[in-house]
Amino acid sequence: MVIGLIFYNLRGSPEWRDFRWQRFWTTLTGAQPGLLLLALVGVYSTYLIRAYRWRYFMHPIKRASLWTLFEGQVLGFGSIFLIGRLGEFVRPGYIAKKENVSMSAMLAVLVLERVYDSIALVLIFAASLYFEPLAPATARGVWVLREGGHIMFAVAGALLLGLVFFRLEAERVTAWLLRRVHFLPSHALSGFKHFLHSFVEGLGLIRDWVGLLGSVASTLLLWFVNASIFWLVFQSLRGGLEHLRWVGAGLTMFCAAQGLIVQFPGIGGGYQVGAILALTEIFNIPAEPATGAGILVWIMISVPCLALGLVLLVRQGLTFSKLEEIGEEERAAAVREV
């Protein structure tokens, strides 16, 4: 299904009309196991780093169990791979239930995590454009990407400043917002007020230098490891992929992340297409090794998470259907609170 989706999106390109299956399979079967094993270690380490980062985020609220946070990361991302965007609510919902904290506070942490990740991706994107040598044929596309990066950086910076301002001026901003929505029914107004206060609580680390520095350091480490996973997978292959530098792998990761906007439960989709387009259009990698690399990266990221997720589910007597129910319940709760 993944291969079919890729060809559906890219079949109009000339090099895809002459796709050579033998070269594609040779790319996959020739991968070096040792480098893939290092990539696997990197994949599992990202969930531990994310758990540490959530611990820093939650420090103003509660000192959470690192193991619970690790389980939440694995089960949450496993749910996203299987059920799509609804799985986004599994992580905060699972952690909220296990740690007995409010869902609105966990949603605030999730928003803060997204801000950190967006800024980290933009920094990797900018570094890739400036330090990775690119072929002249990609010059026009790189200019477009550069301008898009500038816009994204401005938006991410404005969002971060807005969050800082909201935290520092929480009482005034909260009062102003509540005055603007005074027409809401009393139960809706009470829920919105509770959400705002929980959001402020979740953003409390901005005044905590230990939490702030810890969360920033863990974010930088997380995305260094994420880009390194791409690089290790590329290094394990042939077809020109082994010549890509780390910053080139980072640029490919950025394009793959943009592909997450189009996410299909069970198969992913946009993530692989984003990676393959980056390899073929920016780095001029032939279609066959680029396709193999895109699929292999997705397998390396999704399958280990699903495998460990199944182990954790069995350990706790849960199912992915139950996790889907948690996601639906918490999404409904979030809607009611907002």
- Token pair of 278 as six digits: 């980056």
CA-to-CA distance for 255 and 264, rounded, in angstroms?
Answer: 17
3-state secondary structure of 64: coil
* Confidence class for position 119, pLDDT limits 50, 70, 90: confident
* Confidence class for position 338, pLDDT limits 50, 70, 90: very low
CA-to-CA distance for 90 and 46, rounded, in angstroms?
Answer: 18
Residue 262 reports pLDDT greater than 60: no
The residues, any chain, with a CB within 8 Å of residue 101's CB and separated by 6 or more, are 58, 61, 62, 95
Please provide the average confidence, as pLDDT, over all residues in the chain. 77
Predicted local confidence at residue 71, as pLDDT: 93
CA-to-CA distance for 79 and 305, rounded, in angstroms?
Answer: 10
- Tell me the percentage of the chain whose pLDDT exceeds 90: 20
What is the tens place of the pLDDT at every residue in 49-98?
Answer: 999 999 998 887 788 899 999 999 999 898 887 776 667 788 888 898 88
Give strand pairing partners of 269.
263
Better pLDDT: 285 or 134: 285
What is the tens place of the pLDDT at every residue in 265-301?
Answer: 444 456 788 888 888 888 888 878 888 888 899 999 9
Residue 263 reports pLDDT greater than 60: no
Burial per residue of 81-112, b for 16 or more beta-carbon CB atoms within 10 angstroms, e otherwise: bbbbebbbbbbbbbbbbbbebbbbbbbbbbbb
The residues, any chain, with a CB within 8 Å of residue 330's CB and separated by 6 or more, are 89, 90, 92, 93, 96, 103
Total-model pTM: 0.78
CA-to-CA distance for 271 and 288, rounded, in angstroms?
Answer: 17
CB atoms within 10 A of CB 41: 13
Identity of the highest mean pLDDT range in 123-127, 181-185, 232-236: 232-236
- Token pair of 55 as six digits: 């611990």
Identity of the highest mean pLDDT range in 8-12, 29-33, 49-53, 269-273: 49-53
Residue 302 reports pLDDT greater than 60: yes
Predicted local confidence at residue 34, as pLDDT: 93
Question: 186 φ, ψ to 5°?
Answer: -60, -40
Better pLDDT: 12 or 28: 28
Predicted local confidence at residue 1, as pLDDT: 43
Predicted local confidence at residue 260, as pLDDT: 66
Residues 202, 62 contacting (CB under 8 angstroms): no
The mean pLDDT value for 306-314 works out to 88
Residue 18 reports pLDDT greater than 80: no
Residue 120 reports pLDDT greater than 70: yes
Q: What count of Cα atoms within 13 Å lies in the side-chain half-sphere of residue 234? A: 28
The angle subtended at Cα 100 by Cα 99 and Cα 103, nearest 5°, is: 100
Residue 141 reports pLDDT greater than 70: no
Predicted local confidence at residue 249, as pLDDT: 92
